Amino acid sequence: MTVRVTSVKLTPLVSQMTRKTERWRVVVVSVLAAALILHISGAFADNLNFTSTGMQETDDSGNLIWTMGDSSGSLAITDAGGNGGFQVPAGSIGQTEIADGSILDNHINASAAIAISKLATGSSAQIIVANAAGTPTWVTAAGDITIATSGAVTIAKIGGGTTITKHLSATSSLSFASLATSSCDQKTIAVTGAAPGDTVYVGATSSIETGLLWSAFISAANTVTVRICNVTGPTLTPATSTWRADVWQH
């Protein structure tokens, strides 16, 4: 072990060396900037005291009772009871000093908020899915959808049919006029993005009176028209209801 000491009380040091030479050896290597570099091997002597800035003590049984440090703060060892600990300079421990697999989940602070950029990178537009073993894995969406890098999802040809590029939906409360036999009335629902030629379906949230039939079509941009007709004898008045229009584009 190599120890750097900024100053040494030589009198007690020499005295202890004389009394207990058989227990340890001290070799003076060099003197640099008024500091002695000592190589010490073997068991330490009892009550080994160098300076207030650092060294160690052990009792005759070899029990640790000392602290060690230096003026630069790069080393500090506290008592044998575990108070304190071994300290090293910031940045001195890198990936080569940490054993692979030694850091576990409980070693990471719950509020660490680790950036997603720290994850292993996947390919463009991939998503993270747990595999059969439960391990999160980057995969490419397959089947009837595709995902763009913007996050947009496109429904492809479901079951090999026609591709659906967009689904639009909106609701509106509609109140139709009283309908005499073989008469019709129509109301509109605003559906942003809808265009003539798109596929449309409408439905009411309440029951439709018996004898009424309805249909829907896109009569203009952003507009779905609902037409309801009385195909029976007596006059019928449709109840006010919320209607939903769904529009598909291909």
Contact by Cβ (8 Å): 219, 188: yes
Residues 75 and 90 in one domain: yes
Residues 5 and 102 in one domain: yes
pLDDT digits 0-9 by tens, 48-80: 555 555 565 666 776 755 455 554 544 555 555
Rounded to the nearest 5 degrees, what angle is found at the Cα of 191, between the Cα atoms of 187 and 196?
85
- Is residue 211 a part of any domain in this protein? yes
Residues 66 and 152 in one domain: no
Q: pLDDT category, 246, cuts 50, 70, 90?
A: very high
- Is residue 118 a part of any domain in this protein? no
Residues 178 and 152 in one domain: no
- Is residue 171 a part of any domain in this protein? yes
Residues 57 and 39 in one domain: yes
Contact by Cβ (8 Å): 51, 12: no
Residues 5 and 106 in one domain: yes
- Average pLDDT of the chain to the nearest whole number: 74
Residues 93 and 188 in one domain: no
Residues 94 and 191 in one domain: no
How many CB atoms sit inside 10 A of residue 154's CB? Answer: 14
- Is residue 75 a part of any domain in this protein? yes
Per-residue CA distances from 245 to 43, 210, 227 (Å) = 89, 21, 12
Burial class (CB in 10 A: 0-12, 13-18, 19+), 91: exposed
How many CB atoms sit inside 10 A of residue 189's CB? Answer: 23
Mean pLDDT of 217-231: 97
- pLDDT > 70? residue 25: no
Please tell me the total count of domains within the chain. Answer: 3
Residues 15 and 83 in one domain: yes
Rounded to the nearest 5 degrees, what angle is found at the Cα of 199, between the Cα atoms of 249 and 214?
155
Residues 55 and 135 in one domain: no
pLDDT digits 0-9 by tens, 95-134: 888 888 888 888 888 898 888 888 889 998 899 999 999 9
CATH number of the domain residue 203 falls in:
2.60.40
- Is residue 170 a part of any domain in this protein? yes
- Using the structure block, give the residue that is written with the tokens 């120890």: 3
Looking at the chain, the number of H-run helices and the number of E-run strands are 1, 16
- Is residue 204 a part of any domain in this protein? yes
- Is residue 159 a part of any domain in this protein? yes
3 state SS of 4:
strand
Query: The pTM is what?
Result: 0.46
Tell me which residue range forms the domain holding 155.
123-164
Residues 107 and 38 in one domain: yes
Residues 84 and 144 in one domain: no
Name the domain boundary from 113, 147, 177. 113
Name the domain boundary from 105, 132, 164. 164
d(CA 231, CA 187): 18
